[in-house]
Amino acid sequence: MSWIYGLDLLGVFVFAISGVLTAIDNKFDVVGSAIIGMVTAIGGGTLRDILIGETPVGWMKDMNYLLVVLAALIVSYLFKNNIIQLKRSMFFFDTIGIGLFTILGIQKTMDIGLSPFVALLMGIVTAVFGGVLRDVLTNVVPLVFRKEIYATACLAGGILFLVLSNFSNYLNLNLVSAMLVVVIIRYLSVKFNWTLRKSIRKD
């Protein structure tokens, strides 16, 4: 399943860049930016692994995850002005990352014998808690609590994946369909501004 592994690393890369850029925006120094980038990229999966008892957590056993975060840190500093122009592409890969993280979180949780309901929750945790931890560490109310569609897209994609898995053994097809649902819902929600968000920044 090497294309899934590649997409996973790509998701980590894009999440890490978004974390580092947030940190730079907050005028953090390079060490702070590295920590925020790492937390954003692998924080969700780390929390999932801790909750389901899969420790040492996943990225400790595969050096590539930390190397990708390091690469993202370097790329962010080298090209930080250009990356902002790439926001559209960033958004695209970010959404793919969210979709994939959801499904991988679901799979890992079901692999150790937990129920589909718990797996769905762990899929959402994998996809959104990196961002929640980033927001807690930069002292703002987590964005996901104010933008409903973000987590709802994960929920919809996750449910589709679970349903499809009951009917078909084509893992790749199930995976792509579920990710497509996440991407489409999130794309439409941004395009048409689907959200119940109100202006509640407290910081």
Residues that bind a second copy in the complex, under the rule CB under 8 A: 23, 26-32, 35-36, 46, 50-53, 55-57, 60-61, 63, 66, 112, 114-115, 117-118, 121, 132, 136-142, 144-148, 151-152, 195-198, 200, 202-203
Give me the least distance between CB of 54 and a second copy, in Å please: 8
* Inter-CA distances, 81 with 14, 20, 91, 92, Å: 16, 13, 16, 19
CB of 199 to a second copy, least distance (A): 9
Q: Please give the angle made by the CA atoms of 37, 39 and 41, to the nearest 5 degrees.
A: 65
* Identity of the residue, 69 or 175, whose beta carbon is nearer to a second copy in the bound complex: 69
Select 143 or 171, whichever has its Cβ closest to a second copy.
143
Q: State how far the alpha carbon of 113 is from the alpha carbons of 30, 65, 106, in Å.
A: 41, 25, 11
Of the two residues 22 and 174, which places its CB atom closer to a second copy in the complex?
A: 22
Residue with Cβ nearer a second copy (171 or 195)? 195
Token match 């797996």: residue? Answer: 119
Provide, rounded to whole angstroms, the least separation between the CB of residue 18 and a second copy: 17
Close Cβ partners of 169 (under 8 Å, ≥ 6 residues apart): none
Q: Shortest gap between Cβ of 163 and a second copy (angstroms)?
A: 19
Q: How far is the CB of 159 from a second copy (least distance, A)?
A: 14
Minimal distance, residue 169 CB to a second copy, in Å: 26
Of 81 and 139, the one with the shorter C-beta distance to a second copy is 139
Between the CA of residue 154 and those of 66, 72, 77, 102, 170, what are the distances in Å?
Answer: 25, 24, 30, 6, 20
Neighbours of 184 (CB within 10 A): 15
Q: Which CB sits closer to a second copy, 152 or 177?
A: 152
Rounded to the nearest 5 degrees, what angle is found at the Cα of 9, between the Cα atoms of 6 and 12? 150
Q: How far apart are CA 5 and CA 71, in angstroms?
A: 17
